[in-house]
Amino acid sequence: MGAPLLLVENLRKYFEIKRVFLGKKTYLRAVDGVSLSLVRGEAISIVGESGCGKTTLGKTILRLYKPTDGRIIFDGRDITHLGWKDLKWYRRETGLVQQDPFGALPPFMTVKRILEEPLVINGVKNRREREEKIYKALERVKLTPVEDFINKYPHMLSGGQQQRVVIARATILEPKMIVADEPISMLDASVRIEILKLLQELQQKYNQSIIYITHDLSTTKYFSERIYIMYAAQIVESASTSDLLQNPMHPYTRALLNVIPDPDPGNRFIIRNVPAGEPPNLMNPPPGCRFHPRCPNFIKGVCDTREPSIIEVAKGHYVKCWLYG
Amino acid sequence: MRKEHLSVKHLIMYYRTMRGEVRAVDDVSFSLLKGETVALIGESGCGKSSLAKAIIRLMPRNVSIYKGIILFNGINLMDLDEEEFRRKIRWSKITYVPQAALNSLNPVIKVGEQMIEPLTIIYKMGKREALEKAAEALRRVGIDESFIDRYPFELSGGMKQRIIIATALLTNPELIILDEPTSSLDTLTQANIMNILKSIKRETGLSMIFITHDISLSSELADKVAVMYAGQIVEFDTAERFYSNPKHPYSQKLMDSVPTLRTNKKLDFIPGSPPSLLNPPKGCRFAERCQFAFNNCAEDPPAIYLDGDFYVKCWLYMRK
Ligand SMILES: Nc1ncnc2c1ncn2[C@@H]1O[C@H](COP(=O)(O)OP(=O)(O)O)[C@@H](O)[C@H]1O
Ligand SMILES: Nc1ncnc2c1ncn2[C@@H]1O[C@H](COP(=O)(O)OP(=O)(O)O)[C@@H](O)[C@H]1O
Ligand code: SF4
Ligand SMILES: [Mg+2]
Ligand SMILES: [Mg+2]
């Protein structure tokens, strides 16, 4: 294996929150010390419940937000503090697919104009070349025959087709890496798989590196090589997809896996174990392990006082939990 | 034997629009026994919420046709006029938790005040007594009674949804219709709500119609399953049979599209999209997307009864 395409070290993104009284500054720590890596041509999943910081992490990696601290190395280059001019290069090399396809597409533009825009912005001056790229992008996302779609407006397309257009736009400059932020959560069951399979094909056939962000653990195994579990702005466990699903170690991961049903008529007779409470406020997270107030395995005097570090418990399997040392 | 609680027969509800008639509920039949839960599943726009509104008779103004039979405890609700329905059925016997109901809580009015509205308005109950009932209902969904004096803006989504469910239980109804009660909530919060619904079902013998687009989740409550496609129920079966052996080609494809954690099945999806309810195709509404479609499918398939009230609306099951 060569050097990873993306290396994120101890990344932090704090949002400043203005307090009405006292004029004191407080911070919401949306991403708080995240490290991860992405091998060229691979897909990784970032899984966590809403509000845990997934979108902020994705946007900070894409440098749509300015990092507060930490490092982002992309393709061997430190891009953490890239200035406006160099960011242009980085924008070309990366793409974002957002959650709500309809909201992401300007309603008054045709598919053709939507896809042409990033090309114009990035200085593809020749019209023929632009057209060629638009055709190729639409073929990649299987909106074929292209003629049937190219002049349509977003509202004339189904949810699945709209998301295909969003993906076509994110990949039109053939970026090395895309961040897909909950790309299927607004779609219907049968359409979800259609989009998931498309992303999988982009990865396998076109060697597209993908960061797949989701709150739905059950979709990750069809797709990514590695899973990162995020809780309250931090990664609490990471492992290869099969390792993580077969041998979850962090109590939070275990809780998640335990409550996600497969379709089975026996489910209705089971009361599931659900950790009490809710994720903490990121302006004032609990001391020690952030999961400790909800954790069934919590060790008093340890988990509530000191923050666990990340430990490699098996090859390539990392856990941030005192149960493991 | 348990008694039949609700039996919906040939229910039709259309909407009038500028572009024509929307056939949101188009000849729908299903039934449930006392204490049972039927899960109504299907993709968005197939008519699930419309069916719920047709049963609880909370219909938009632009309904053009509303007919069929709704037997509740053996009485046809369609024979009741609006006044009787409001007095005898809605809230007291059947309650409805609409989709996204948690957003309908007023953020700056105390929880208790909002909860007791059905009691003070419909039952003319005194405020003290009503608040006591509200406190009791909160305990049933695992919330401390002190929350009566809290404001919704202080509460999380999961908390609000539990309050909504508690409110729907205040009047001790016999049947509750839950329209996507967990779809905006997180995995753990959702599991928590499902636990609460399971214990309520077990302890009170309440009948439920549980509406969801999430097939895995539907199996957390369903004794029976009704699959809706383009305004119609295309399959109605027991949970035992349905989850292991769905019969309608649409149900089968839908099941194939469900990602699972514990099995290693291949995922598949249904190419294309459902037909418009403005001018649905003449024959089977799934025919255009069905891999088994044959000559017969150009005609509307009848409900083919396989066992008791259970049926499939598909020509493949027609006995020769
Ligand atoms: N621009 C912002 N300013 C202040 N707080 C923000 C901003 N964006 C997100 N947050 C907060 O950061 C936390 C993480 O949010 P987000 O990254 O959207 O999580 P997720 O995508 O996992 O749901 C949340 O508490 C959210 O309210
Ligand atoms: N008041 C209305 N007027 C016209 N069409 C409506 C109205 N309400 C819903 N519809 C349409 O009826 C169909 C079924 O909608 P709905 O019952 O909300 O489906 P579901 O709950 O399964 O998503 C959709 O095509 C929807 O656009
Ligand atoms: S009736 Fe025919 S077209 Fe319809 S689902 Fe059955 S086989 Fe397919
Ligand atoms: Mg997000
Ligand atoms: Mg609905």
Chain B closest-CA separation from residue A189 CA (Å): 6
Tens-digit pLDDT profile for residues A265-291: 999 999 999 998 889 999 999 999 999
% of chain A with per-residue pLDDT over 90: 83
pLDDT of residue A281: 93
pLDDT-based confidence at residue A256 (cuts at 50, 70, 90)? very high
Enter the CATH code of domain A4-248. Answer: 3.40.50.300
Partner A contacted by B199 (CB < 8 A) = yes
Residues of chain A contacting B222 with CB distance shorter than 8 Å: 265, 268
Is A20 exposed, middle or buried, given 0-12, 13-18 or 19+ CB atoms closer than 10 A?
exposed
Question: By CB neighbour count within 10 A (0-12 exposed, 13-18 middle, 19+ buried), where does A269 fall?
Answer: exposed
In this complex, do A261 and B263 lie within 8 Å of one another by their Cβ atoms?
Answer: no
Ramachandran quadrant class, B64 (left: phi over 0; alpha: psi -120 to 50; beta: rest): alpha
Q: What is the pLDDT of residues A222-250, one digit of tens each?
A: 889 999 999 999 999 999 999 999 999 99
Q: Which of B27-36, B62-71, B139-148, B216-225 has the lowest mean pLDDT?
A: B139-148
Q: Residue B239: what pLDDT?
A: 98
Average per-residue pLDDT in chain B?
94
Could you tell me if A90 and A174 are in contact, meaning their C-beta atoms sit under 8 angstroms apart?
no
Q: Please tell me the number of the ligand nearest to residue B44's CA.
A: 2
Is residue B312 in contact with ligand 3, taking CB distance under 6 Å? Answer: no
Closest by Cβ to B219, choosing from A245, A255, A267? A267
pTM of the model: 0.93
Q: Ligand 3 mean position to B312 CA, how many Å? A: 10
- Dist. CA B229 → ligand 3 center (Å): 12
Average pLDDT over residues B116-141: 91
Is residue B101 within 8 Å of B183, Cβ to Cβ? Answer: no
Residue B177 and residue B143 in contact, taking contact as beta carbons nearer than 8 Å? no
Task: Say how many C-beta atoms besides its own lie within 10 A of residue B35's C-beta.
Answer: 17
Residue A43: predicted pLDDT? 96
Q: Is B261 an interface residue toward A (CB < 8 Å)?
A: yes
Is the predicted pLDDT of residue A33 greater than 60, yes or no? yes
* Burial status of residue A95 (CB atoms within 10 A of its CB: 0-12, 13-18, 19 or more): buried
Of the candidates B8, B40, B6, the one whose C-alpha atom is nearest the C-alpha of residue B218 is: B40
Q: Is the pLDDT of residue A84 over 90?
A: no
Nearest CA in chain A to B202: A269
Task: Determine contact: B191 vs chain A, CB below 8 A.
Answer: yes
Collect all residues with Cβ–Cβ distance below 8 Å to B42 and sequence separation of at least 6: B48, B213, B227, B228, B229
Contacts of B158 in chain A (CB under 8 A): 278
Contact between B191 and A259 using a beta-carbon 8 Å cutoff: yes
- Ligand 3 within 6 A of CB of B229: no
Integer angstrom CA distances of residue A210 from A165, B67, B156, B215: 17, 51, 32, 28
Question: In chain A, pLDDT over 70 holds for what percent of residues?
Answer: 98
Instruction: Point out the ligand nearest to the CA of residue B300.
Output: 3
Buried b (16+ CB within 10 A) or exposed e, B297-309: beeebebbebeeb
- For chain A, give every domain's residue range: 4-248
CB contact under 8 A, B258 and A260: no
> CB-hemisphere CA count at 13 Å for A169?
28
- Is B154 in contact with B183 (CB distance < 8 Å)? no
Residues B285-317: tens digit of each pLDDT: 999 999 999 999 999 999 999 999 999 999 999
Token pair for B250: 């649409």
Q: B162 — contact with chain A (CB < 8 Å)?
A: no
Residue A137: both structure tokens together: 């992008």
CATH classification number, B4-93+173-317, choose in 3.30.470.20, 3.40.50.300, 3.30.420.40, 3.40.50.620: 3.40.50.300
pLDDT tens for each residue of A146-193: 999 999 999 999 888 999 999 999 999 999 999 999 999 888 887 889
Say which residues have a Cβ less than 8 Å from residue B117's Cβ, sequence separation at least 6: none
Q: What is the ipTM of this complex?
A: 0.92
CB within 8 A of A212, min separation 6: which ones? A43, A44, A45, A46, A180, A183, A199, A220, A223, A224
B114 touches chain A (CB under 8 A): no
| Average pLDDT of chain A, as a whole number | 93
- Residue A109 and residue B129: Cα distance in Å, rounded? 58
Q: Which atom of ligand 2 is nearest to the CA of B42?
A: 22
User: What is the maximal distance between C-alpha atoms in chain B?
Assistant: 66
Report the pLDDT averaged over residues A292-296.
Answer: 96
Dist. CA B7 → ligand 3 center (Å): 26
Q: How far is the CA of B261 from the centre of ligand 5 (A)?
A: 27
How far is the centre of ligand 1, averaged over its atoms, from the C-alpha of A52 (Å)? 8
